Amino acid sequence: MNVKVFQFNGCNKCFHETILLKQNDMEVELISNPKDWKGEKIDVAVVSGYLLPEDKEILLNIQSNANKLIAYGDCTTTGGIFGLANQKGANITPISKIIPESFKINGCLAEIEELTATIKGGEVDKPPSLCKVCKRRSTCEYLDEVHRQIDIFENEEACFNDLGFLCNGYIATECKERCVDYGTQCRGCKPIIDRSGVRMLGMFGTLMGNVEVATEASKYGATDKLADKDDDMTESLPDIVGNFFRFSLPTSGLPKGRIHSKGSILENVFTGRLIEEFPLITGLLGGDNSISMTLSIIEAYEKGAEIEVNEQTKQYRQKLRSLEKELKNAIDAQDAEKYKDVTEKIRKIAGNMNLSNVFYGGFKTPIDGADNFDDYKAEPFEIKEGTYKNGIVEFSIDSKGVIKEIKIKEGA
Amino acid sequence: MSSCDINECEGKYDNIVVFMCNECGQGSANTAGVGRMPYDPSVRIVRVQCTGQIGPIQIMDALNNGADAVSCVGCCIGACHFFNGNLLSMRRIKLMKKMFKELGYSDQFINQYTSRAAEGETAVGDFEDIVERLCTAITEGGTFENEC
């Protein structure tokens, strides 16, 4: 079967994941610059990367030449994490607005097994809800307060949401990355329902039933109404757009944001996000540089905020960096076997390809039973206002831990 | 801030959706009707069993289908006929207000109020407040469609 994979804009992790299709006796060609593609008849076209309105012509050309068009990964199907730039006026478009009748495979990183099944045309089983396979159990009791960081080993049975640790697992299906297994909340990259972010907002608002909400007297009629001032509700969730609409802002039915653009698309995505979500976001969108980008951001903050890092952590980080180089070599050589081998090694240390296990001061869950986990365990840290710099990145956070400004040098 | 004042927002809105609960909210609107109290003709009342039924999905549906402002009117705090529905929807609306602020819009076009079934002026007072806030949102250029 003749398969061509087209990479549009942004992160190329899903694009490189399709190298694994070569293991299935398919004739696969990866096209990293679809603008230069001349056009020929193909069986299956796979599209990855985020789309802009100006990509419409190229996409229609691909569609007219292909028997089947598959959108692979959240960036293409829903706008994905780059869709957060729409908060600052960008125009990232989900594929359904350009070609409504395409096949869609959600996920960040999208699963290669699902793509293989869709290409072959077989029935794809609908995966169960994430909560069904999660080892934690939810009671949906009202929360007294919301925590932005918790010690995940204190209670290993209760649902993150019951502990006041916002997890979007309610609206997600089971996936291969399984961030929840590595002490990181689900952010709903594989939604089980449409307008997932809006629904999760309603759900979490209900769960916050015992958190104090400010009311004031109405000047007409002497009854109460919702007050404008900040209260525990708004203080405890400083970044609603980034946490509830991480992958679905362009498809959620919300209007396009009117916040002034900060510059490049990456800067727009990062500004306004929270410091504790920062490593995961860079892990999600860094493409083949995600490991070095995530680690340099973590190290910048560790250095500035004086978070101790021990030798074992440094060793593991060094190993991750060398694995990133190996991964690049495997991609250059288009070697499916080697690619699989290296990604498995990365998954073993970092948890998954989104690096959920990597955090400030260490790792969230044990990597190898042979070491002493207490040595490299990541602890909840205190947020320290300031400007942090390391190599290609420079960012400043305010007292609540919201990223105010970020500069990423080009070519990173 | 633009130069226009609140009086200029007249005629810029014609749909204000107000979800009123079947108990105190609708009761006070009925009392207002019996008392022949006038209120803004743009107000469209949607009767719901309890404001606890209203969440982000319903509010976004209303806004995306042409509502200029959306509000909930429920029972007084502590007097919900279904335990705590009014308090729950207040929390959801508070989160939505924060979300609109993060997106660069005004948070004045959605809100939640309470009223008393025996006093029609509480409902009419809430409607007046909704209109006043919508005008603030329009003059600040922060609603979905309208701006000065």
Taking the alpha carbons at both ends of chain A, their separation in whole angstroms is: 35
Tokens of A236: 């405890």
Q: How many domains does chain B have?
A: 1
Residue B91 lies in a domain: yes
Q: What is the 3-state secondary structure (H, E, C) of A138-149?
A: CCCCCCCCCCCC
Domain limits for position B130: 14-139
The CA distances from residue A60 to A165, A298, A411, in Å, are 43, 41, 30
CB A376 within 8 Å of CB A240: no
pLDDT in tens, A114-170: 999 999 987 778 889 999 999 999 999 999 999 999 999 999 999 999 999 999 999
Q: What is the CATH number of the domain that holds B29?
A: 3.40.50.960
pLDDT score recorded for residue A28: 92
CB A89 within 8 Å of CB A258: yes
pLDDT score recorded for residue B147: 55
Rounded CA separation A410/A207 (Å): 42
Residue A223 is nearest to which of B97, B107, B116, comparing CB atoms? B116
Residue A410 has pLDDT above 70, yes or no: no
Tokens of B104: 């660069």
**Residue A324 C-alpha, separation from nearest chain B C-alpha, in angstroms:** 35
Residue linked to tokens 């074992």: A312
Angle between helices B56-64 and A196-207 (to 10 degrees): 140
Sheet architecture: strand order including B16-21: A215-217, A224-226, B110-114, B69-74, B16-21, B43-48
Any idea what the Cα angle at residue A376 is, between residues A372 and A382, rounded to 5°? 140
Would you call B144 helix, strand, or coil by DSSP? coil
Taking the alpha carbons at both ends of chain B, their separation in whole angstroms is: 10
Tokens of A45: 């076209």
pLDDT in tens, B94-113: 999 999 999 999 999 999 99
Cβ-based neighbours of A67, under 8 Å, separated by 6 or more: A42, A43, A44
pLDDT score recorded for residue B7: 65
Residue B7 lies in a domain: no
Residue B127 lies in a domain: yes
B118 lies within 8 A of chain A by CB: no
CB pairs under 8 A between A and B: 133
Q: Which helix (H) or strand (E) holds A215?
A: strand A215-217
Would you call A43 helix, strand, or coil by DSSP? strand
pLDDT in tens, A79-117: 999 999 999 999 999 999 999 999 999 999 999 999 999
Rounded CA separation B43/B56 (Å): 20
In degrees rounded to 5, what are phi and psi of residue A66?
Answer: -105, 145
- The count of other CB atoms within 10 Å of the CB of residue B67 is 23
Residue A225 is nearest to which of B104, B105, B114, comparing CB atoms? B114
For the CA atoms of chain B, what is the radius of gyration? 15
Residue B44 lies in a domain: yes
- Confidence tier at A242 by pLDDT (50, 70, 90): very high
Residue A24 has pLDDT above 90, yes or no: no
Residue B147 lies in a domain: no
B65 lies within 8 A of chain A by CB: no
A contact set with B (CB within 8 A): 87, 195, 198-199, 201-202, 204-206, 208-209, 211, 213-215, 218-226, 228, 231, 233-234, 237, 239-241, 244, 253-255, 257-259, 272
Residue B8 lies in a domain: no
Contacts of B103 in chain A (CB under 8 A): 87, 241, 254-255, 257-259
Contacts of B97 in chain A (CB under 8 A): 226
According to CATH, the superfamily of the domain at A2-120 is: NADH:ubiquinone oxidoreductase-like, 20kDa subunit (3.40.50.700)
Average pLDDT over residues A29-44: 91
- Chain A residue with minimal CA distance to B25? A223
Cβ-based neighbours of A394, under 8 Å, separated by 6 or more: A300, A387, A388, A406, A407
Rounded CA separation A300/B90 (Å): 40
DSSP state of A335: -
**Residues 15-34 of chain B whose Cβ lies under 8 A from any Cβ of chain A:** none
CB neighbour class for B43 (10 Å; exposed up to 12, middle 13-18, buried from 19): buried
Q: Structural domain boundaries of chain A? A: 2-120, 127-238, 274-412
Rounded CA separation A121/A92 (Å): 29
Would you call A269 helix, strand, or coil by DSSP? helix
For the CA atoms of chain A, what is the radius of gyration? 22
Residue at A126: amino acid letter: K
Helix, strand and coil percent figures for chain A, each rounded to 5: 40, 15, 45
B14 lies within 8 A of chain A by CB: no
Rounded CA separation A59/A44 (Å): 13
Residue B22 lies in a domain: yes
In degrees rounded to 5, what are phi and psi of residue A272?
Answer: 95, -10
Nearest to A8 by CA among A72, A69, A51: A51
Residue B90 lies in a domain: yes
Average pLDDT over residues A289-293: 92
